[in-house]
């Protein structure tokens, strides 16, 4: 195959691929959003833990789970908030979550505050792991927004290892956007794109060994391909020169 034919075929393949991607863009985008959601049916457990953020929905879902008998108690992790002046007017996030649970009918004695201040998902997963280590037979439901469940599950598995089997994940819906059509709403766009970035960041930050292994494998394979390709090219050039 001459070089020109090769490039024409390659350009055609790229055009066809791009066309297919364009035609199937809605399906693809929808799958991209839904891939982040790994929540399942709630299993009867001892505790339900609300991860911080989206207080308009997550604590309401947790309260519903307690009231429906899926969990006996609710866990709330203390969120480390910065001491800005806003704190004078707004209650801290963990207090908001606690208030919602009580407002929705969960008894104050059934709300357990884990005093292990955290600032992010990994910190909250760490706090849950520490709590469950102190209660060896307890099971827990984690409630978080649908697009956040994959990263949360990743963090919980990373922190808790084998013990992560005692945790199940329940997706809370979002009051900001529809997951299957996230690109039609600015907030959905912002949330999903940043979630992918955060997921990548988590893998790099908390699994550097595994990332280094994958990068190493890719580099070795790429080097081998480039080497074989350049060797074939030099052989062809020598053969052309000889003929």
Partner 1 sequence: MKLPPRRKWVLRLAITVVLGLCLFLAREPILRACGRMLVVDEQANDNATIRYIWLIDAAENFGELGAAYDLAARLCSEDPSRTVLLIEAERTQLVRAQIVPSYETVSRRQLELRGVDGKAVTALDTPMSFWRAVRRLRDWLDQRPEGGVVAICGRFRSRHHRLVLDRVLAPGQAARVKLIGVSDGRFDETDWWKSRLGAKEFFAGFSSLAYAWCHGEDTLDPPTWDPDKYEAALLLGRGHKR
Cβ neighbours of residue 65 under 8 Å, at least 6 residues apart?
42, 48, 71, 141, 143, 170
Q: How far apart are CA 41 and CA 137, in angstroms?
A: 20
Closest distance between partner 1 and the C-beta of residue 103, in Å? 5
Closest distance between partner 1 and the C-beta of residue 95, in Å? 9
The residue ranges that bind partner 1 (CB under 8 A) are: 39-42, 55-57, 60-61, 63-65, 67-68, 82, 84-86, 89-91, 96, 99-100, 103-104, 119-120, 170-171, 173-178, 181, 183-187, 189-190, 193-194, 197, 226, 230, 233-234, 237
Residue 98: which of 73, 126, 129 has the closest Cα?
73
Sign of the CA dihedral running 174, 175, 181, 182: negative
Q: Give the residue with the Cβ less far from partner 1, 25 or 233.
A: 233
Q: Give the residue with the Cβ less far from partner 1, 75 or 101.
A: 101
Q: How far apart are CA 54 and CA 153, in angstroms?
A: 17
- Residue 119 is classified by DSSP as S
Closest distance between partner 1 and the C-beta of residue 89, in Å? 5
Q: Give the residue with the Cβ less far from partner 1, 10 or 90.
A: 90
Q: Give the residue with the Cβ less far from partner 1, 63 or 156.
A: 63
Q: Which helix (H) or strand (E) holds 144?
A: strand 140-145
Q: How far apart are CA 108 and CA 41, in angstroms?
A: 26
Q: Give the residue with the Cβ less far from partner 1, 72 or 187.
A: 187
Closest distance between partner 1 and the C-beta of residue 133, in Å? 27
- Order the strands of the 111-118 sheet from edge to edge: 111-118, 73-79, 47-50, 140-145, 167-172
Q: Give the residue with the Cβ less far from partner 1, 31 or 133.
A: 31
Closest distance between partner 1 and the C-beta of residue 150, in Å? 15
Closest distance between partner 1 and the C-beta of residue 184, in Å? 4
């Amino acid at each position: 195959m001459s070089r020109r034919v090769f490039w024409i075929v390659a350009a055609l393949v790229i055009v066809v691929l791009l066309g297919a991607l364009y035609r199937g863009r809605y399906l693809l985008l929808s799958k991209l959003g839904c891939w982040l959601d790994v929540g399942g049916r709630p299993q009867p457990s001892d505790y339900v833990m609300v991860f911080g953020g989206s207080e308009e929905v997550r604590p309401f879902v947790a309260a519903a789970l307690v009231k429906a008998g899926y969990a006996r108690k609710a866990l709330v992790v203390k969120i480390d908030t910065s001491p800005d002046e806003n704190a004078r007017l707004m209650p801290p996030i963990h207090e908001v979550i606690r208030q919602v649970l009580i407002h929705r009918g969960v008894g104050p004695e059934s709300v357990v505050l884990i005093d292990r201040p955290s600032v992010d998902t990994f910190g909250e997963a760490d706090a849950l792991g520490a709590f469950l280590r102190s209660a060896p037979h307890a099971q827990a439901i984690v409630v978080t927004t649908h697009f956040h469940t994959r990263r949360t599950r990743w963090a919980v598995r990373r922190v808790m290892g084998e013990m992560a089997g005692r945790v199940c994940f329940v997706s809370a819906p979002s009051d900001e956007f529809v997951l299957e059509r996230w690109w039609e709403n600015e907030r959905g766009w912002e949330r999903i794109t940043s979630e992918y970035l955060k997921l990548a960041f988590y893998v790099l930050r908390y699994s550097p060994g595994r990332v280094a292994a994958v990068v190493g494998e890719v580099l070795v394979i790429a080097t081998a391909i480039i080497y074989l390709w350049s060797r074939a090219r030099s052989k062809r050039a020598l053969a052309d020169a000889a003929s």
